[in-house]
Amino acid sequence: MDVKFESWKEIIKDENIAFKKTKVLTDNILSYCPGCGHGVVHRLVAETIEEMEIQDQTIGIAPVGCAVLAYDFFDLDMQQAAHGRAPALATAIKRLYPEKFVFTYQGDGDLAAIGGNETIHACNRGENITIIFINNGIYGMTGGQMAPTTLEGMVTSTSPYGRDPKLMGYPLRITELIAMLPGTYYVTRQAVYKPAYVRKAKKAIRKAFENQKLNKGVSFVEIVSNCNSGWKMTPVEANKWLEENMLKTFPLGDIKVDGELVKEL
């Protein structure tokens, strides 16, 4: 279904433009819920690619998850991977086209549960790729089931009485795990729920793409994000909840920079 707002076109004139969308995003209307972090991160990745002037050299990989249609939004050559397998696709593409920029865009279910093995081994091999990891502590796309990153006590549709670690395991801090691997070169955890954090996240994403020129291993950017639909909150409530709860288990900041751990794990 294509929704068209023809009347907007009259307003879109050069003299009226106060803020411009990057050309690396298409004009397709985002499928994300209002207030969802996915949209913001899409913009940051697209802006980075525009600023680096690498649109014609970039190949992106969409996951299975809410970002499954990412290829509708990025004006890039893109592949859609089976659930969790994006790092395997990226491995081959980068090895076969070492001069191109290759990134995966994955949710926490995709990257840390079903694709945990592909993630760890691509990171351990030191593939020269960028991984953008959207951690919203839940399976957004399938309606809010428990993810490996779901917090202790957190209510989801498959942990209706709260996540009990004795029954369901602990929240998986996969970012700390992969930072320990010698194959990762840059590992950082960011957020996009506040303007200041958006600017920081943008810098991190830029670094993660720039690093591909160095050929030194994986650059991994986790974004602690929200899922207001899955969390059953308004966008404002979700951002508040994120700050008060998610960041305790998933503290923000760089973990590994230029191949050196900068945080005690």
Ligand X SMILES: Cc1ncc(C[n+]2csc(CCOP(=O)(O)OP(=O)(O)O)c2C)c(N)n1
110 scored as a contact of other proteins (CB under 8 A): no
Q: Where are the beta strands (DSSP E) in 5-163?
A: 58-62, 77-80, 101-107, 130-135, 138-139, 145-146
Distance (Å, whole) CA 67 – CA 46? 14
Q: Read off φ and ψ for residue 158, nearest 5 degrees.
A: -110, 5
Q: Cβ closer to other proteins: 36 or 89? A: 89
User: Using CB under 6 A, which of the segments 7-15, 21-29, 65-73, 91-99 binds ligand X?
Assistant: 65-73
Q: Give min distance, CB of 18 to ligand SF4, in A.
A: 26
Q: Is 227 near ligand SF4 (CB under 6 A)?
A: yes
Nearer to Mg ion, 60 or 140 (CB): 140
Residue 76 Cβ vs ligand SF4, minimum distance, rounded to whole Å: 20
- 7 by Cβ neighbours in 10 Å (0-12 / 13-18 / 19+) ranks as exposed
What's the closest the beta carbon of residue 131 comes to ligand X, in angstroms? 13
Restricted to residues 113-172, the positions that interact with other proteins (CB under 8 A) are 117-118, 121
| 138 within 8 A of 145, measured Cβ to Cβ | yes
Name the one range near ligand X by CB under 6 A: 135-143, 207-215, 241-249, 257-265.
Answer: 135-143
In angstroms, the CA 137 to CA 36 distance is: 13
**Token pair listed for 206:** 């830029």
Read off the amino acid at residue 178: I
**Site residues (CB under 6 A) for ligand X, limited to 203-242:** 227
Smallest gap from residue 187 Cβ to ligand SF4 (A): 23
Interface residue with ligand X among 109, 171, 183, 217 (CB under 6 A) is: 109
DSSP 34-50: TT-HHHHHHHHHHHHHH
Report how far apart, in Å, the C-alpha atoms of 211 and of each of 205, 259, 260 are: 10, 11, 14
Nearest to 112 by CA among 249, 207, 262, 214: 249
State which residue, 128 or 156, has the beta carbon closest to ligand SF4: 156
Contact 111, 88 (CB under 8 A): no
Residues 29-88 that bind ligand SF4 (CB under 6 A): 32-33, 36, 38, 66
* CB-nearer residue toward ligand SF4: 33 or 54: 33
Binding site for ligand X (CB under 6 A): 64-67, 83, 107-110, 134, 136, 138-142, 147, 227
Binding site for other proteins (CB under 8 A): 55-59, 61-62, 68-69, 71, 74-82, 85, 88-93, 95-97, 100, 117-118, 121
